[in-house]
Amino acid sequence: MRLKNIILIICALLSLTGCSTAEKFSVYGSGGTKIYTPYNTVTSQSIASQSDKVDIAVPSDMYCGFILAQPSGCNVKIPIGLDYKISRHTGTKAALYAGGTVASVGIGVTMIGTIAMIAAKCNGDDEESDRFGLITGIGAAAAGVGACIGAPSQSRLRQTAYDYNFGYEKQQRVEIPRLSFTLLNPNKPKGYMEQTQAGNESSSRRKASSGKDVKPDSKSNNISVSSSKVNKNRSDYSKKIEGTYIGTGSLLTGANVDENYTDVNVIIKRIDRNHVSVNVIESGEEYFEAPLLYEVVANKNNGFNLVMDKLPDAVIRISKDGKLHFNHKKVNIDNVIYTLDIKAKKR
């Protein structure tokens, strides 16, 4: 083979070989969640359904400590850390060793063959000259092959992931249910905490309908943490009572029962140590327009009372054994005031 052709082949191989790689992983999460990378916060990839995932490829010359997840219906991008692993990229390093070895052998053979070829030519021995020329060509080819393997490998080793021996866990998860309602809907007034809770005489209940997202109603008790902070170190009462309570209830006008409910869930979520949000779900539907905000105080019976600021007629009592009694005397439905009474037990 002519040396010129060998060189052409080497150049072609080198041009086809990529010099950069990517660290790949998949992100699982709730359907409708958009995933952004911090280096591209404009274009997202969406997780279609609960069992779906998006595949992310982070360039190897980069370290990415987190992704940004935006669940469906959420107006904020949430930083979620990326779990990483030690990855020595031994395949690439082996290629570098192999490439270097092959190349160096090829170079050695090329040098020997060239010298011998020249010597044979000088002696007028054309046959020997051709033989050594072939050896030279083989050596050059080996050097070329070694370069093809070793050169891109060497450039890869300069990349951050290779230099610091890391990759990302193949399966990353965005655990939206772990995140609180408050985190997913950060719409409260910001700055130094001040009392901002609006004083209402009643909590409005919307007419029964399905499929509507619950958003904090600015007119009703704000979901935000808005009470004045105290310096006293209090126990985390909210953590003790958060959870789902299952029971039954009724809607009353005075002493008369207007409606009975056989399937009621009261979901209490922690906002901070002394504040919780309360969702009432009746037959699978949100009962109120927005979650209710309560302050948690301990009572003398080792249980807890949940009180609503400026609405003393809405009280929840939870006994030490997890029995809940929800009594709200100012439920507004179509401008008529009812009493909602629920008894439930913690699941």
Partner 1 sequence: MIMTCGCSTSGKLSVSSVAYQSLRTDFAQPQSIAKDAKIAVEYFFNSKGEMQPVVYNLTSEILVLDQTKSFVIMPDGSSLSYYDPTIRTSTTGTYSSETSGATFNLGGITNALGIGGALGVLANATNVGSSHTDGIMRQNTVSVTDQPHVYIGPKGSVAMSKAYKINGIGDASYIGRNVIDVAPSASTVRFSVCVSYSFDDGKHYEKLVTNFYISSNISVPVIDRKVSKAFYNIYEQKPDALAENMYLFVLPNNIKGVTTDVMGEFLVHSNIYDTYIYGSLIDFQ
Dist. CA 318–CA 239, nearest whole Å: 13
Question: Which one of residues 18, 65, 199, 211 is an interface residue with partner 1 (CB under 8 A)?
Answer: 65
Number of Cβ within 10 Å of residue 190's Cβ equals: 8
> Could you tell me how far CA 58 lies from the centroid of its own chain?
15
Is residue 330 a contact residue for partner 1 (CB under 8 A)? no
Is residue 91 a contact residue for partner 1 (CB under 8 A)? no
Binding part of the chain for partner 1, among 5-13, 73-81, 286-294, 338-346 by CB under 8 A, reads 73-81
- Tokens of residue 231, six digits: 């310096």
When the beta carbons of 80 and 145 are compared against partner 1, the nearer one is 80
**Tokens 């904020």 — which residue?**
76
- Tokens of residue 225, six digits: 């943490």
Print the binding letters for residues 202-241 with partner 1: x by CB under 8 A, - otherwise.
Answer: ----------------------xx---x-x----------
Q: Which residues partner with 27 through β-bridges?
A: 54, 172
Helix 3-16 with 126-157: angle, nearest 10 deg = 10
Cβ of residue 271: shortest distance to partner 1, in angstroms?
Answer: 6
Question: 136, exposed or middle or buried, with CB in 10 Å at 0-12, 13-18, 19+?
Answer: buried
Cα–Cα distances (Å) from 238 to 231, 276, 287, in that order, read: 17, 6, 22
* 106: phi then psi, degrees, rounded to nearest 5: -60, -40
Question: Which one of residues 271, 280, 290, 311 is an interface residue with partner 1 (CB under 8 A)?
Answer: 271
Question: Which one of residues 166, 244, 246, 317 is an interface residue with partner 1 (CB under 8 A)?
Answer: 166
Window 133-152: residues binding partner 1 (CB under 8 A): none
**Tokens 């987190």 — which residue?**
66
Is residue 163 a contact residue for partner 1 (CB under 8 A)? yes
Is residue 281 a contact residue for partner 1 (CB under 8 A)? no
When the beta carbons of 59 and 322 are compared against partner 1, the nearer one is 59
Binding part of the chain for partner 1, among 124-132, 160-168, 242-250, 293-301 by CB under 8 A, reads 160-168
On the CB side of 269, how many CA atoms lie within 13 Å of its CA? 19
Is residue 62 a contact residue for partner 1 (CB under 8 A)? yes
Q: Round to the nearest angstrom and report the end-to-end CA distance of the chain.
A: 81
Question: Which one of residues 30, 45, 104, 114 is an interface residue with partner 1 (CB under 8 A)?
Answer: 104
Cβ of residue 279: shortest distance to partner 1, in angstroms?
Answer: 15
Cβ of residue 335: shortest distance to partner 1, in angstroms?
Answer: 29
Dist. CA 60–CA 39, nearest whole Å: 13
Binding part of the chain for partner 1, among 17-25, 74-82, 284-292, 294-302 by CB under 8 A, reads 74-82
Is residue 194 a contact residue for partner 1 (CB under 8 A)? yes
Question: Which one of residues 6, 34, 54, 84 is an interface residue with partner 1 (CB under 8 A)?
Answer: 84
Q: Which of 246, 174, 187 is nearest to 214 (CA)?
A: 187
Dist. CA 196–CA 309, nearest whole Å: 11
Q: Helix (H, G, I), strand (E, B), or coil: what is residue 170?
A: coil
Q: How many residues does the chain have?
A: 347
When the beta carbons of 43 and 51 are compared against partner 1, the nearer one is 43
Given the rule CB under 8 A, which residues bind partner 1?
37-39, 41-42, 59, 61-66, 68, 75-86, 93, 96-97, 100-101, 103-105, 108, 154, 157-158, 160, 162-166, 169, 172-173, 175, 178-180, 182-183, 186-194, 224-225, 229, 231, 270-272
